[in-house]
């Protein structure tokens, strides 16, 4: 198992910056040393960050060389965004195409993306109404409400993307994600079968299954078993649920992998049993000491892998 750092916090004194709006200079020497010392092999880098290098082959490769000089690869390019909503879909299709080019320049293994849209409910920027955000009994753009044409449309986009990416030994991954038509194992398998490309696969993010609805739509064990053999990238995070049954509402606290409700010993075992050779991408904490908490997560994961190999 290889380990990629999909950090969701970017704070190391004296720097504290928005992890969703990173510039190349935010990847300081101090940060990269810490990431390597924790035991990671690679970083997940957003396509928006690579845009800020200038986006040319020369500038992206220079940034990649700097990351490589700390003993780290760029393992994944994070793309993402809805590909079906009329308002945002076209620009996200262009973003996916650009991310494939960045994957070529960086030598990344995979371009990953969740295909969810911003909340469309007025006055609701933080998902505080049913069907938006997470933890409600309804979910925006869910597979429960998707028509067949949605998957037909998505499959054509992914077929074209995979054909373009295949020339550079680059994989394309779609993430099981809340508020999207790929939000559980059956929808992931359905789309996978329609795309029918060897370099297309699933990112089975079980954390997104946990917090999509107020109660999980399927068992985590069933989800990972159903998609392990068709996965080519793997986001890993864990949570604790605070359930309010009177409101049909749950809120969630992110915790290190060993401390949450998802059994990652089972999940890792399932992926290894399926022959998974890609990255285990640890989605880091969003608050507190990221290096303490995320070191706990990677140390736990490595200990589980070692126990299964012994």
**Are the beta carbons of 188 and 174 closer than 8 angstroms?**
yes
Sketch out the chain's domains with CATH numbers: 2-309 (3.20.20.150)
Work out the average pLDDT over 283-290.
Answer: 95
Task: Determine the pLDDT at residue 119.
Answer: 86
Work out the average pLDDT over 39-47.
Answer: 98
State which H helix or E strand residue 53 sits in: none
Task: Determine the pLDDT at residue 123.
Answer: 64
**Are the beta carbons of 2 and 278 closer than 8 angstroms?**
yes
Cα angle 198, 276, 10 (rounded to 5 degrees) comes to 100
Cα angle 80, 177, 163 (rounded to 5 degrees) comes to 45
**Are the beta carbons of 110 and 66 closer than 8 angstroms?**
no
Work out the average pLDDT over 99-107.
Answer: 98
Work out the average pLDDT over 41-56.
Answer: 98
Percent of the chain surpassing pLDDT 90: 93
Work out the average pLDDT over 210-217.
Answer: 96
pLDDT band at residue 309 using 50, 70 and 90 as cut-offs: confident
Give this prediction's pTM.
0.96
pLDDT band at residue 222 using 50, 70 and 90 as cut-offs: very high
The residues, ordered by sequence, that sit 6+ positions from 160 with a Cβ below 8 Å of its Cβ are none
From edge to edge, which strands make up the β-sheet containing 171-175? 200-203, 171-175, 110-113, 73-78, 42-46, 2-6, 279-283, 234-236
Please state, in angstroms and as integers, the Cα–Cα distance from residue 94 to each residue in 90, 91, 99, 104, following that order. 6, 5, 9, 16
Q: What is the pLDDT of residues 119-139, one digit of tens each?
A: 887 666 566 777 778 999 999
């Amino acid at each position: 198992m290889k380990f990629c750092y999909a950090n969701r916090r970017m704070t190391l004194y004296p720097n504290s910056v928005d992890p969703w709006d990173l510039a190349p200079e935010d990847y300081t020497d101090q940060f990269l040393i810490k990431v390597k010392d924790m035991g990671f092999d690679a970083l997940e880098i957003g396509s928006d960050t690579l845009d800020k290098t200038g986006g040319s082959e020369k500038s992206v490769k220079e940034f990649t060389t700097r990351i490589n000089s700390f003993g780290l690869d760029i393992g994944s390019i994070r793309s993402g965004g809805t590909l079906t909503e009329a308002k945002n879909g076209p620009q996200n299709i262009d973003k996916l195409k650009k991310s494939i080019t960045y994957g070529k320049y960086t030598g990344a293994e995979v371009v990953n993306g969740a295909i969810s849209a911003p909340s469309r409910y007025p006055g609701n920027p933080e998902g505080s109404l049913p069907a938006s955000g997470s933890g409600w009994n309804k979910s925006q753009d869910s597979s429960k409400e998707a028509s067949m044409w949605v998957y037909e449309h998505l499959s054509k986009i992914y077929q074209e993307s995979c054909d373009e990416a295949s020339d550079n030994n680059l994989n394309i991954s779609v993430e099981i994600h809340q508020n999207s038509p790929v939000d559980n194992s059956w929808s992931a398998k359905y789309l996978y079968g329609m795309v029918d490309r060897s370099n297309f696969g699933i990112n089975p993010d079980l954390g997104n299954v946990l917090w999509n609805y107020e109660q999980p739509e399927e068992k985590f064990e069933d989800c990972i078993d159903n998609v392990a053999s068709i996965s080519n990238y793997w986001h890993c995070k864990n949570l604790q649920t605070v359930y309010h049954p009177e409101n049909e509402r749950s809120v969630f606290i992110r915790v290190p992998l060993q401390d949450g409700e998802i059994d990652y010993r089972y999940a890792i075992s399932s992926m290894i049993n399926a022959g998974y050779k890609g990255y285990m991408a640890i989605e880091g904490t969003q608050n507190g000491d990221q290096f303490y908490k995320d070191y706990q997560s990677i140390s736990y994961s490595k200990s589980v892998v070692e126990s299964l190999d012994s």
